[in-house]
């Protein structure tokens, strides 16, 4: 078979998990990630690829430092911009593929000279978060340096539209999905709510880029390969750091999976010790091939596991000096092994640079006395890159019931499920939120939700979101305040205390993972703003004058506004629009004015009484799709009552929530 013409072959540099900024403050390893990133760009330019495809985690931190951002921008500008023509043609709608402010692919922008475009999804390290759901890739996209795609607008109903590219006879449909919490995405796949739009004909090479757990960590904490559709030709799988870049066929379908792995070791584990590669993929029509390209700027990494008792040492007779001497000899052998590997690589490729190696010696020390690992590494300064982390002592695990320990619940379950899959001495992978929930199992929180507190701590730790816990506390306080304001008029002091306790404890009853959906906080909003009606009802109970009842509604409405001002769940995963706040906001506040005016019948079902709040509130609240969103709605939801004719003169229309539609008796608006 004749070789295809280059004008019909689409050439792509493939890489994942660059982790720019990792260990940037380390004087020895601080530039490792940036050096490897530059080498990847150099090799892409040398091989004259048409584009670069990144599978997530370009940055190690969710909020990379200015030093890291500047270095990344400088390298992209240096290697990706220029007068080199780009032979690819975009056939799909850029407004759908790149829904940013400019809605265009960067190499077709007449204001920029892009010679080697970069396409990237986000990973779990650099995923969107905070106000506006933005991430570091949005900055690079706004500067037109990369083409950022694969951001899902809804996690419960995902529709992926491909980027359609053509070069000569080759047509490629590029699908991408940025990192989503594995349990959430797993459930979305089970509910058959992940849809991939396909071109009408079958001439397209279908390529999918994903950044999720591929290895099973628990029942739902991964994405099974058979979840993915059969029409895909190749899947580029990011997030897993072990390099398995050679495409492997799936057992159940004619689809190949390539796992490039990370370009830098971010942990001292066995999976990171394998040689690091990037790939150059060439596609001609429906055929492809992947060429492994070794990276010469990756620091050598040698890892070894020893059992002291198996090495002839007696735990009852061996002294600390004997153990230290034996381990020192082992470390020297590992340094010599790293030196030999470098010499062999240098012979193959003269571009290899000598660097201090990473050394990891895992020591099973059951029955032996251990010593300071940092002090052990002092003699190896300037000889290895991690002198303080050479040794890792561990002991044989004892079989015991984890649920009897203090850290129980979800954390114990995760640890039990993880047993047997981790190397000796490695701690089971437990999420921050599971640990927090486990520690709080024996506690009784009155206001804060355990699930939301765990999620706030996770965002504080993993995403460096310093406002996460503060936002949670403010949100829960305002939610509880709204619940107290909307208690029944005949509630006594005990009812107030019970309401406060209920507002914080209802969240604790939901122990199911991800018991959530596309819910709108309309009940929370209406309860927050429904105090106008409550004020009127209270005034009626005290048998005050009509004017007094109206002013009571106005004051209640003001309180409702304060309670609902921050009612949106700060840990909502999606930013959908909500129409409930504007409608509920008209329930109170206007009662004072309406009491002295002639009552009239609202002209429609959605029209209510007076309003002290503008319609801008309609867009201020978002869908709560967090783990316990259903509980949050239930806990402050006012009981439905029979609708009554409003006496206040309305000043606008609103869509009233179905769960708490009612009108105040005196001057209060419809809720």
Paired with 589 in beta bridges are 611
Greatest pairwise CA separation for the chain in angstroms: 98
Q: Give the number of residues written for the chain.
A: 671
Contacts of 136 (CB under 8 A, 6+ apart): 58, 59, 62, 63, 64, 69, 126
**3-state secondary structure (DSSP) of residue 478:** helix
The 8-class DSSP code of residue 620 comes to T
In whole angstroms, give the CA distance from residue 553 to residue 485.
12
Helix (H) or strand (E) holding 367: none
Q: In which region does residue 631 sit, left (phi positive, over 0), alpha (psi from -120 to 50) or beta (all else)?
A: alpha
In whole angstroms, give the CA distance from residue 434 to residue 222.
16
In whole angstroms, give the CA distance from residue 612 to residue 587.
9
In whole angstroms, give the CA distance from residue 161 to residue 176.
9
The 8-class DSSP code of residue 24 comes to T
Contact of 557 with 530, CB cutoff 8 Å: no
Distances (CA, A) of 113 to 78, 81, 268: 12, 6, 41
In whole angstroms, give the CA distance from residue 656 to residue 154.
24
Q: Which residues are catalytic?
A: 125
In 382-491, which ranges are continuous DSSP H helix?
409-418, 432-439, 450-462, 468-485
Contact of 610 with 594, CB cutoff 8 Å: yes
**3-state secondary structure (DSSP) of residue 397:** coil
Q: Which two tokens stand for residue 506?
A: 């209802």
Angle at which helices 468-485 and 522-529 cross, to 10°: 60
Contact of 22 with 32, CB cutoff 8 Å: yes
**3-state secondary structure (DSSP) of residue 164:** strand
Angle at 656 between CA 589 and CA 567, to 5 degrees: 65
**How many Cβ atoms are within 10 Å of 230's Cβ, its own excluded?**
10
Q: Which two tokens stand for residue 173?
A: 């449909």
CA proximity to 40, closest of 260, 256, 217: 260
In whole angstroms, give the CA distance from residue 250 to residue 217.
20
Distances (CA, A) of 366 to 307, 460, 642: 9, 36, 71
């Amino acid at each position: 078979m004749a070789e295809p013409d280059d004008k019909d072959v689409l050439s792509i540099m493939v890489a994942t998990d660059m982790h720019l900024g990792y260990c940037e403050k380390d004087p020895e390893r601080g530039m490792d990630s940036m050096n490897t990133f530059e080498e990847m760009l150099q090799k892409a330019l040398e091989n004259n690829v048409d584009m670069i495809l990144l599978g997530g985690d370009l940055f190690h931190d969710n909020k990379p430092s200015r030093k890291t951002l500047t270095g990344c921008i400088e390298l992209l500008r240096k290697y990706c911009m220029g007068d080199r023509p780009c032979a690819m043609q975009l056939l799909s709608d850029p407004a759908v593929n790149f829904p940013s402010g400019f809605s265009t692919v960067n190499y077709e922008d007449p204001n920029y000279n892009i010679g080697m475009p970069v396409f990237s999804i986000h990973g779990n390290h650099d995923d969107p978060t905070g106000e506006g759901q933005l991430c570091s890739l949005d900055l690079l996209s706004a500067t037109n340096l990369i083409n950022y795609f694969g951001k899902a607008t809804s996690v419960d109903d995902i529709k992926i539209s491909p980027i359609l590219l053509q070069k000569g006879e080759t047509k490629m449909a590029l699908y991408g999905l940025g990192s989503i919490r594995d349990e959430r995405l797993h459930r979305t796949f089970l509910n058959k709510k992940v849809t991939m739009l396909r071109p009408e004909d079958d001439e397209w090479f279908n390529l999918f880029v994903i950044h999720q757990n591929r290895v099973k960590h628990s029942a739902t904490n991964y994405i099974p390969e058979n979840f993915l559709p059969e029409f895909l030709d190749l899947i580029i799988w990011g997030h897993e750091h072990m390099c398995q870049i050679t495409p492997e066929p799936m057992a159940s379908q004619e689809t190949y999976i390539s796992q490039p792995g990370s370009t830098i070791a971010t942990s001292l584990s066995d999976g990171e010790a394998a040689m690091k590669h990037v790939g150059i993929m060439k596609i001609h029509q429906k055929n492809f091939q992947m060429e492994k390209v070794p990276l010469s700027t990756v620091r050598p990494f040698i890892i070894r596991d020893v059992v002291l008792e198996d090495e002839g040492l007696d735990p009852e007779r061996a002294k600390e000096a004997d153990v230290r001497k034996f381990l020192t000899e082992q470390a020297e052998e590992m340094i010599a092994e790293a030196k030999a590997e470098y010499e062999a690589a240098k012979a193959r490729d003269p571009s290899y640079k000598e660097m201090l190696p990473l050394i990891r010696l895992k020591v099973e020390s059951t029955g032996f006395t251990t010593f300071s690992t940092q002090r052990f590494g002092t003699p190896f300064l300037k000889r290895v890159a991690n002198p303080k982390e050479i040794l890792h002592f561990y002991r044989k695990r004892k079989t015991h019931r984890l649920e009897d320990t203090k850290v129980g619940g979800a954390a114990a379950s995760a640890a039990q499920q993880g047993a047997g899959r981790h190397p000796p001495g490695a701690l089971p992978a437990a999420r921050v939120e599971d640990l927090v929930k486990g520690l709080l199992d024996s506690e009784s929180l009155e206001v804060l939700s355990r699930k939301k507190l765990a999620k706030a701590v996770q965002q504080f730790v993993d995403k460096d979101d310093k406002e996460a816990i503060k936002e949670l506390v403010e949100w829960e306080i305002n939610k509880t305040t709204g619940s107290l304001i909307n208690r029944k008029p005949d509630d006594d002091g005990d009812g107030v205390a019970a309401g406060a306790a209920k507002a914080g404890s209802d969240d604790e009853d939901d122990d199911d993972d991800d018991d959530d959906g596309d819910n709108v906080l309309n009940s929370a909003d209406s309860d927050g703003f429904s105090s106008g009606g409550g004020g009127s009802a209270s005034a009626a109970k005290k048998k005050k004058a009509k004017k007094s009842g109206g002013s009571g509604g106005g004051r209640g409405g003001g309180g409702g506004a304060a309670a609902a001002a921050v009612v949106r769940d700060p840990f909502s995963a999606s930013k959908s629009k909500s129409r409930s706040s504007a409608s509920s906001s008209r329930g109170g506040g206007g009662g004072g004015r309406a009491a002295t005016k002639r009552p009239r019948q609202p002209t429609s079902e959605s029209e209510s009484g007076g309003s002290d709040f503008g319609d801008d509130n309609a867009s201020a609240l978002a869908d709560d799709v967090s783990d316990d969103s259903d509980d949050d709605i239930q806990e402050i939801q006012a009981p439905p009552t029979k609708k009554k004719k409003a006496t206040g003169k309305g000043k606008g229309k609103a869509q009233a929530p179905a769960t708490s539609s009612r009108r105040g008796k005196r001057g209060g608006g419809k809720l």
